[in-house]
Amino acid sequence: MEKPFDEPWRFPPQPEGFMVNAAGQNVEFVGITPGACYAVAVEGDIAYIVAGVYLLILDITDKSVPALLGSVQLPGMVYYGIAVSGGYAYIADGNTGLRVVDVSNPSIPIEKGYYDTPGYAYGVAIANNLIYVADDDGGMSILRFTAAELRISSVSPSNGPAKGGTEIKIYGTNFKAGATVTIGGKAAINPVVDPVAQVFITATTPSGKPGSADVVVTNPDGESATLEDGFKYIAPTEVLPARTALLPNYPNPFNLETWIPYQLSAESDVTVELYNIHGRLMRVFALGIKPAGSYVTKDRAVYWDGKNEAGERVASGVYFYRLKAVSPSPGLSPQGRGDYGEAFSAVRRLVVVK
């Protein structure tokens, strides 16, 4: 049996009297671009032209005056064919085979792949997610292009203060112009995709809670990638108090509740006691070992709900609160074992009103 394509193509003879005779009056000149144009593809109001060693992308909204949006130089000497589909331009590039260019951002076209066909690529067509290349003596090559997945590989630097403001670079693949970034669920400030290779994004971190946070990049088409625990927020370093002190409670006077702040210059075993005006002990807060630092805010100060040890609300009047802080001796256990060193004690007055 004769195999197909064993012999050179043979065209049937032209019938006698065959003639092409089309009238010219039904074709009207609308516009022209300067310079060479070897092949063209059009999608909507954008034209993709192969001209010499360049792919040119034109805005043809005004057909009489096409405007250049972007261009890219590729290695072949002459382009012979082009097809556009799904945000990519597929170019028959002569002796360098097929070139694939990301044209999703027309102002910054970027080559994303190539295949050196065995022959000389003259033409290209796209159908059913396959690429058909007319390859001269190499026959017809049928190819499939798979775009790189959106992926985050690393963040540098990978940590910064919880207040935000750290300038970072997010490295990965297939970032698109206009991509957004979130860190710990909050939008990063001014994310910009590298316009040359689209392999990193610069951004500034928002504020966040101390600890690790996920970094998420989302392309304009909705595709997203996550780097779990990609950035770590660092809590601000606390300046330790120079001396241990008992501070005024707030509010004072008070009705239902008050907070008793204090500060420690060294790790201490802390107790706060409350007495009525007659010196009777009303309430004891045994806080245990506390590290040096300021215990001033409501989440750290001693909270008193105005009740005694029995859970009964105390009467209106003047009360006294006392801070006792005993710091362990140097070199001994901070857990209360062994001899203790210097003891601190101070008393202040508060007023309960009804």
pLDDT, tens digit, 9 for 90 and up, residues 111-156: 888 899 999 898 999 999 899 999 988 899 999 998 778 899 999 9
Least confident range of 26-30, 105-109, 150-154, 175-179: 26-30
Order of strands across the sheet that contains 167-173: 151-156, 167-173, 200-204, 189-193
Q: How far apart are CA 67 and CA 47, in angstroms?
A: 10
Chain segment 264-294, per-residue pLDDT in tens = 999 999 999 999 999 999 999 999 999 999 9
| Per-residue pLDDT at 312 exceeds 90 | yes
CA dist., res. 105 & res. 323, Å (int)? 67
Lowest mean pLDDT among 13-27, 124-138, 302-316: 13-27
Say yes or no: domain 39-143 is CATH 2.40.128.630.
yes
Question: DSSP secondary structure string, 82-127?
Answer: EEEETTEEEEE-BTT-EEEEE-SSTTS-EEEEEE--SS-B-EEEEE
Output the six-digit token pair for 277. 């005006």
Low-confidence winner among 4-8, 61-65, 92-96 (lowest mean pLDDT): 4-8
For the chain, how are helix, strand and coil distributed in percent, rounded to 5? 0, 50, 50
Alpha-carbon distances of 119 from 116, 134, 211, rounded to whole Å: 8, 9, 57
Using the predicted structure, report yes or no on whether residue 231 has a pLDDT greater than 90. Answer: yes
Q: What is the pLDDT of residue 7?
A: 40
What is the pLDDT, as a whole number, of residue 23? 57
- DSSP 8-state assignment for residue 345: E
pLDDT, position 40: 92
Task: Look up residue 248 and give its two tokens.
Answer: 């005024």
Q: How far apart are CA 248 and CA 323, in angstroms?
A: 12
Nearest to 304 by CA among 322, 326, 279: 322
> Using 50, 70 and 90 to split pLDDT, how confident is the model at 110?
confident
Q: Say what the pLDDT of residue 336 is.
A: 41
Sort 346 into a burial class: Cβ within 10 Å, 0-12 / 13-18 / 19+: middle
- Please state the rounded mean pLDDT for residues 183-205: 92
Percent of the chain with pLDDT over 90: 62
Indicate if 245-352 has the same CATH topology as 151-234.
Answer: yes
Percent of the chain exceeding pLDDT 70 equals 88
Whether the pLDDT of residue 17 is over 80: the answer is: no
Alpha carbon distance 102, 147 (integer Å): 9
Instruction: Return d(Cα 201, Cα 95) in angstroms, integer.
Output: 35
Verdict on whether the full-model pTM lies above 0.75 = no
Instruction: Please state, rounded to an integer, the average pLDDT across all residues of the chain.
Output: 87
The domain defined by 151-234 folds into Immunoglobulin-like (2.60.40)
Q: Confidence class of residue 75 from pLDDT cuts 50, 70 and 90?
A: confident
CATH label, 245-352, candidates 3.10.20.30, 2.60.40.4070, 2.120.10.30, 3.10.100.10: 2.60.40.4070
Q: Where are the domains of the chain?
A: 39-143, 151-234, 245-352
Q: What is the pLDDT at residue 85?
A: 92
